[in-house]
Amino acid sequence: MTSLSCPFCGVRELAEFAFHKTLPNAGDDPLSAVYLRINQVDDSHEYWQHVRGCRAWLKARRNPSTGEVLEMNLLGAVTS
Amino acid sequence: MPLARRHYSALALLRARWAGSRYWRPLWTGRTLKDHYDVVIVGAGGHGLATAYHLARDHGIKRIAILEKRLVGYGNVGRNTTIVRSNYLLPENHYFYEDALRRWGTLSRDLNYNVMYSPRGVVDLAVSEDEIPAMARRGNALRLAGIDAELLDVAALERAYPQLAPRRVRRFPLAGALVQARGGTVRHDAVAWGYARAASALGVDIIEDCEVTGVRSHADVAEGVETTRGYVRAERILFATAGHTGMIGTMLGVPLPIETHLLQAMVSEPIKPFLDTVMVSVFPGHGETYLSQSDRGGLVMGGHLDGFPSYTREGTWDRMQDVVAGAVDLFPQLAGVKIVRQWAGTNDMTMDGSPIIDRCRYDNVFLNAGWCYGGFKTIPASGAACATLVATGTAPDLIKGYALSRFATGHLLDEPGYGPFPVRL
Ligand SMILES: Cc1cc2nc3c(=O)[nH]c(=O)nc-3n(C[C@H](O)[C@H](O)[C@H](O)COP(=O)(O)OP(=O)(O)OC[C@H]3O[C@@H](n4cnc5c(N)ncnc54)[C@H](O)[C@@H]3O)c2cc1C
Ligand SMILES: [Zn+2]
């Protein structure tokens, strides 16, 4: 993984983006929501931000075992 | 029955000189997997091997197996930048890390294997005046605990490390440093091999190429592990799987406060003796670089995590650039030196940056994990303490703070104060 594609800005260097957290929360209680993580080996759902670009919040699907980006959408946008 | 190991000594070298290379024996011998053990340890990294060694040596447990999905030393124990130190701020951490640092001092003798502990000092550089009060606070906390720490101003830094030439014009001017003189480096491969050899000599079965794929249980007691070489019954099970602990959480059906992130390291072509210490520098909003020079002359360098969950062991290009740029900012004289190798390891990042040594899910299943990017330096302390937990069922005081329950009760050990994220935005 050397770059990511922002829905607004197009393909930009990875250094412009920041990973925030995986989705969904492990549970609804505070412990699960804040601290626990569901380990997603090949299809990880994540919040990212184009923090050194347009600063849009993004929702990604990636394969952490290969580095492949499966989907990258604006947070809140409807995905198929 | 495996051949007895050779005791290493000057005399043994002389003997081998006459007996030829056949004098030497394999460090650990390939044993066959039995179908029942008192303790099964999953993962032959530093923590699994050291725990096995202490279980056999200190607690007299006879039937121990270490099951390793690849080979001894192929995990993070053989991928790290070999730095050891105990200059952590929080008491729960610094007493534990100090116990490890003291053990490094005698480990070569204990294992009869030279792990090349080199107390060359660890120098944490400050690149702004604002960092000095935080360093002073950490240094004072350490000194109160009887751990060495020395705060240097720019003039003292210049005298101690002339290669830095602190007054040089640089992007981040140096403001001082916190030094731990007893910190330094240890040869990582030797740690894996030395513990494996010593554990094997005490009768521990080290089984390579054997992946644990599941846990069998009955009425909330774990009974054994499914492996790629068949089912193995076990009275107790310890997972010491470092970067793959997230997968163990899935296997046990419990989400853990762990995310898997990559950390990379790189080494330069060999150059003449240049740096006789470990230098660490965090550049605000930019990155981090730590470097030391190996005995072969290569500069061993590392920095921040890549910053997102990954199992690829590849490492991103931009993080490598950060690390190198930081090194050249510190030492412009390195600008022409070539990087010859780069690699990455998967790190079991916890949500407070501190480890977990505790029971997990079952009364007879234990977890030794959450070592983040700093678990090499703790191996000797972790092995001794974790063995006590597994053998007696009670955690010794030194690791009481590392219970899983701290995430529920709020007793977090968050050294840098980041909050519940392995990386900052
Ligand atoms: C680039 C880098 C630099 C670092 N630098 C430092 C440093 O300077 N100082 C420091 O203190 N720490 C450092 N660390 C951290 C340190 O290396 C690790 O925290 C520590 O080695 C982890 O513990 P371990 O040795 O037991 O892990 P490992 O050696 O990774 O052992 C875990 C083993 O478990 C095996 N395993 C996993 N799942 C299974 C399964 N299902 N069945 C069977 N076997 C399994 C793996 O194959 C592996 O061999 C660094 C790490 C990296 C990646
Ligand atoms: Zn953008």
pLDDT tens digit sequence for B60-84: 999 999 999 999 999 999 999 999 9
Q: pTM higher than 0.80, yes or no?
A: yes
Q: Would you kindly state where each structural domain of chain A is located, as residue ranges? A: 3-74
Q: What whole-number distance in Å separates Cα of residue B383 and Cα of residue B26?
A: 23
> What is the pLDDT, as a whole number, of residue B357?
98
B212 three-class SS: strand
Fold of B33-116+185-257+351-425: FAD/NAD(P)-binding domain (3.50.50)
Instruction: Give the mean pLDDT of B274-288.
Output: 89
Return the CATH number of the domain spanning residue range A3-74. 3.30.2270.10
- Asked if B310 has any chain A CB less than 8 Å from its own CB, the reply is yes
> What is the pLDDT, as a whole number, of residue B286?
74
> Is residue B229 classed exposed, middle or buried when 0-12, 13-18 and 19+ CB atoms within 10 A define those classes?
middle
Q: What whole-number distance in Å separates Cα of residue A61 and Cα of residue A49?
A: 13
pLDDT band at B305 (very low <50, low <70, confident <90, very high): very high
pLDDT at B1 over 50: no
pLDDT at B296 over 90: yes
pLDDT band at A52 (very low <50, low <70, confident <90, very high): very high
Q: What is the pLDDT of residues B119-137, one digit of tens each?
A: 999 999 999 999 999 999 9
pLDDT at A79 over 70: no
CA–centroid distance, B75 to ligand 1, in Å, is 5
Q: What is the pLDDT of residues B324-334, one digit of tens each?
A: 999 999 999 99
**Residues of chain A with C-beta less than 8 angstroms from the C-beta of B310:** 1, 64, 67
Cβ separation B250–A27 shorter than 8 A: no
> What is the pLDDT, as a whole number, of residue A37?
95
Instruction: Give the mean pLDDT of B8-27.
Output: 91
Q: Would you kindly state where each structural domain of chain B is located, as residue ranges? A: 33-116+185-257+351-425, 117-184+260-350
The C-alpha of B5 sits at a distance from chain A's nearest C-alpha, in angstroms, of 40
CA nearest A60 in B: which residue?
B308
Strand-pair partners of B366: B238, B359
Cβ separation B420–A1 shorter than 8 A: no
> What is the pLDDT, as a whole number, of residue B122?
98
Cα–chain-centroid distance for residue B327?
23
Of the partner residues A15, A18, A35, the one whose CB lies closest to the CB of residue B257? A35
Instruction: Give the mean pLDDT of B394-405.
Output: 98
Q: What is the pLDDT of residues B244-270, one digit of tens each?
A: 999 999 999 999 999 999 999 999 999
> What is the pLDDT, as a whole number, of residue A58?
97
Long-range contacts at A70-75 (CB < 8 A, ≥ 24 apart):
A70/A43, A72/A4, A72/A5, A72/A6, A72/A7, A72/A48, A73/A7, A74/A7, A74/A8, A75/A47
Distance linking the first and last C-alpha atoms of chain A: 24
Q: What are B201's two structure tokens?
A: 């000599």
- Which segments of B118-211 are extended strands (E)? 122-126, 150-152, 176-180, 184-185, 205-207
> What is the pLDDT, as a whole number, of residue B169?
86
Among B117, B1, B83, B49, which residue's Cα sits nearest to residue B303?
Answer: B83
**Residues of chain A with C-beta less than 8 angstroms from the C-beta of B408:** 31
With beta carbons less than 8 A apart as the criterion, state whether B292 and B135 touch. no
Cβ separation B312–A67 shorter than 8 A: yes
All residues at 6 or more sequence positions from B10 whose CB lies less than 8 Å from its CB, including other chains: none
Task: Say if domain B117-184+260-350 classifies as CATH 3.40.640.10.
Answer: no
Strand-pair partners of B206: B66
Q: What whole-number distance in Å separates Cα of residue B194 and Cα of residue B200?
A: 10
